[in-house]
């Protein structure tokens, strides 16, 4: 069980620069690879997840030793690089009806489909580095009319380069983020400071009028 102190505003579950970035994660690889490398754009370590099929190459947290993340913070943030290939991630949550629901976001999904225990949503990424913000409490309410309690499991699938994955108590502006949670480009010789990457994406698929129900 991975719980957070109630006074904390941020809880990181993955950071590519750490000595053991996948300590809390399991790897599942079929016709692909998961490995740490140096990204040429940010000149720092990242985890690259590549696979011919996005459903068969992924990392999942918590690992088999733990049953649940038990993270109550409602905002999930994923800092990743778009590799111009299909990419997806999935979050399993527990709601106030004691039911586990899955939210699956994918760049190859074209419409939102809500089923009793799973919600599939389209996702669009910009070129290069992106910060994907996912309001789990809002999505749970919109999709199922229930209240988000906690996150049980999280899976990040091919294809992407992963920098950090964290939860927080609300959506923060770039200026409000702790320094370690910001993604900086390297210093340019004629510049006096690093430049931050600003591609933020807040998933809003359920409220865009494209929701279909298949219950």
Q: Per-residue pLDDT tens for 17-48?
A: 988 999 999 999 999 999 999 999 999 999 99
Average pLDDT over residues 82-109: 98
- Model pLDDT, residue 185: 63
- The model's confidence at residue 209, banded by pLDDT at 50, 70 and 90, is very low
The pLDDT, as a whole number, for residue 200 is 58
pLDDT of 214 = 45
Within a domain: 179: no
* pLDDT tens for each residue of 135-177: 999 999 999 999 999 999 999 999 999 999 999 999 999 889 9
Residues 6+ apart with CB under 8 A from 150: 68, 69, 70, 71, 72, 93, 94
Helices within the chain (DSSP H only): 136-144
**pTM of the entire predicted model:** 0.86
Say what the pLDDT of residue 182 is.
87
Question: 33 lies in a domain?
Answer: yes
| pLDDT of residue 123 exceeding 70 | yes
Residue 203 lies in a domain: yes
Do residues 204 and 105 make contact, with C-beta atoms less than 8 angstroms apart? no
| Number of domains, the chain | 1
CB atoms under 10 Å from CB of 215, counted, come to 6
Higher pLDDT among residues 86 and 189, named by residue: 86
> Is 187 part of a structural domain of the chain?
no
* Mean pLDDT lowest among 35-49, 72-86, 90-104, 170-184: 170-184
Provide the CATH number for the domain around residue 159.
2.60.120
Asked, for residue 3, whether it belongs to a domain, the answer is no
Mean per-residue pLDDT, 66-90:
97
Range of the domain at 89: 10-171+194-210
pLDDT tier, 124 (very low <50, low <70, confident <90, very high otherwise): very high
Q: Is residue 184 part of a domain?
A: no
Domain-embedded: residue 127:
yes
- Give the per-residue SS3 of 152-182: EEEEEECCEEEEEEEEECCCCCHHHCCHHHC
| Residues 6+ away with beta carbon under 8 Å from 199 | 125, 126, 128, 129, 130, 131
State the pLDDT at residue 189: 43
Residue 19, domain member (yes or no): yes
> Would you place residue 215 in the very low, low, confident or very high pLDDT band (cuts 50, 70, 90)?
very low
Residue 201: the pLDDT is 61
């Amino acid at each position: 069980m991975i719980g957070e102190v109630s006074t904390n505003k941020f809880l990181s579950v993955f950071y590519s620069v750490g000595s053991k970035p996948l300590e809390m994660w399991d790897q599942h690889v079929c016709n692909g690879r998961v490995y740490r490398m140096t990204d040429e754009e940010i000149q720092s370590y990242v985890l690259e997840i590549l696979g011919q099929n996005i459903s068969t190459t992924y990392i999942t947290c918590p690992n088999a030793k733990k049953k649940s993340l038990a993270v109550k913070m409602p905002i999930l943030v994923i800092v990743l690089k778009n590799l111009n290939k299909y990419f997806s991630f999935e979050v399993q949550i527990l709601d106030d009806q004691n039911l586990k629901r899955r939210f699956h976001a994918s760049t190859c999904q074209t419409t939102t489909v809500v089923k009793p225990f799973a919600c599939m949503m389209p996702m669009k990424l910009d070129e290069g580095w992106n910060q994907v913000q996912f309001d789990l409490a809002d999505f749970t309410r919109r999709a199922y009319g229930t209240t988000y309690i906690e996150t049980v499991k999280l899976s990040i699938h091919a294809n992407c380069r992963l920098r950090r994955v964290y939860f927080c108590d609300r959506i923060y502006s770039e200026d409000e983020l702790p320094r370690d949670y910001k993604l900086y480009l390297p210093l340019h010789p004629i510049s006096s400071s690093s430049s931050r990457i600003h591609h933020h994406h807040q998933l809003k698929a359920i409220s865009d009028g494209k929701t279909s129900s298949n219950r």
